[in-house]
Amino acid sequence: MSVTKQRDALQLLQTVGSFPWYVEKFIDHKKTKKSSPSTLLGYLRDIAFFFRWMMTEGLTTATDIKDVSLSDLNELKKETVESYILYLQESHLYERSALLTNPTRSAKKEYSDRTISRKISSLKSLFHYLAALAEDENGDAYLKRNVLAKIELDATELTPLARAHAIRAKILIDEEIYQFVDFVYNGYLAHCNTEKKRQYHLQNRDRDTAMIALILSGGFRVSEIVSLDLSDIVMEKNQLKMVRKGKKEDAPFFSDWGKEHLARYLALRDKYHPAPQETAVFLAVSPTKPHGHRIEIRSVQKLVKKYAKAFGIPDLSVHKLRHSFATQFLRLNPDPHQLQAQLGHSKIETTMQYAHVLEDALEKAVNRTT
């Protein structure tokens, strides 16, 4: 199990006990379906958000999430759930202050349709389990009525070409890949308007550049990069040993270009003053943890967004760096099966979405046909 999954699994054990017994049973059921700890934590966050909303709306007498009863869920009406959806659509106007203990700046941001669909989908999964899959000692369902079954999600299915068109504006192509990495190392200094920001960037730019270049040179997931230990790097073969989704052991490659940035960072890694037993490749420090420790996924996501916004592609995310590699790979190496192996996809259909991203290649192919 990767370091990230171990941490999520521990957090899951610490969190699930604060939920009603039937939610714990739902999580146990999902574990039998081999859902990852991070996926299960996502379910709990969405369920907790809904239960807090129920408490603020007087839909339960419970004053704690753990005390929300099955009868409370049984009495929900379709109109009530629709009111919750409306709340999700407008909650940014109130900074979600009623449901969040410590609202951050993101509380002012409007939820995307995708986020709302995910939150409702989590509830639909819970209610389906309680009404159709689980049973008490008498063989009866925990819920007599599943109000979420009456809620339809907007399931507009995009064609591969339409999905690819949406991706294209959010990824890096050709020279943009090298320009972005150079910007992270050199160009971002111009955006540091205080000496504190300048010093912070100079302290971390070798690390940040190495992480971003490594993803762009091999198409790795951010969780895979964060979980890397020093012993996982096979520098002479340009390979990384890792455990991928589905607990599959793998050893994908990275390019010589990515290797240069990684080697430069590794030569400077000790400036983070890690403890002798610290094995993580990519380190971070903080006021409360001054010795170098494994950087967190959220920190990598935030720093990529910071650089992307300054670079002029605000929709570029750490996952879109993986998309960028995959698209560029197929542009230069039209073999989706090789890309499938490199990305660790179990299905070729998942890999093939990148074949449609570059419309210029499709246009040329159409013209060659006649």
Q: How far is CA 191 from CA 53, 170, 185, 201, in A?
A: 40, 21, 12, 10
Catalytic residue (one of 244, 322, 323, 356): 322
Catalytic residue (one of 22, 129, 265, 354): 354
Taking the CA atoms of residue 203, residue 209, residue 215 and residue 218 in that order, the dihedral angle to the nearest 10 degrees is: -130
* Beta carbons within 8 Å of 97's beta carbon, 6+ residues apart: 103, 107
User: Could you confirm whether 345 is annotated as catalytic?
Assistant: yes
User: Could you confirm whether 264 is annotated as catalytic?
Assistant: no
User: Could you confirm whether 108 is annotated as catalytic?
Assistant: no
Catalytic residue (one of 144, 245, 247, 302): 245
Secondary structure of the chain in HEC code, one letter for each residue: CCHHHHHHHHHHHHHHCCCCHHHHHHHHHHHHCCCCHHHHHHHHHHHHHHHHHHHHCCCCCCCCHHHCCHHHHHCCCHHHHHHHHHHHHHHHHHCCCCCCCCCCHHHHCCCCHHHHHHHHHHHHHHHHHHHHHCCCCCCCCCCCCCHHHHCCCCCCCCCHHHHHHHHHCCCCCCHHHHHHHHHHHCHHHHHCCCHHHHHHHHHHHHHHHHHHHHHHHHCCCHHHHHCCEHHHEEHHHCEECEEEHHHEEECCECCHHHHHHHHHHHHHHHHHCCCCCCCECCEECCCCCCCCEECCHHHHHHHHHHHHHHHCCCCCCHHHHHHHHHHHHHHHCCCHHHHHHHHCCCCHHHHHHHHHCCHHHHHHHHHHHC
User: Could you confirm whether 320 is annotated as catalytic?
Assistant: no
* Amino acid in position 90: E
Catalytic residue (one of 7, 96, 201, 221): 221
User: Could you confirm whether 354 is annotated as catalytic?
Assistant: yes
Catalytic residue (one of 124, 163, 319, 331): 319
User: Could you confirm whether 30 is annotated as catalytic?
Assistant: no
Q: Mind telling me the catalytic residues?
A: 221, 245, 319, 322, 345, 354
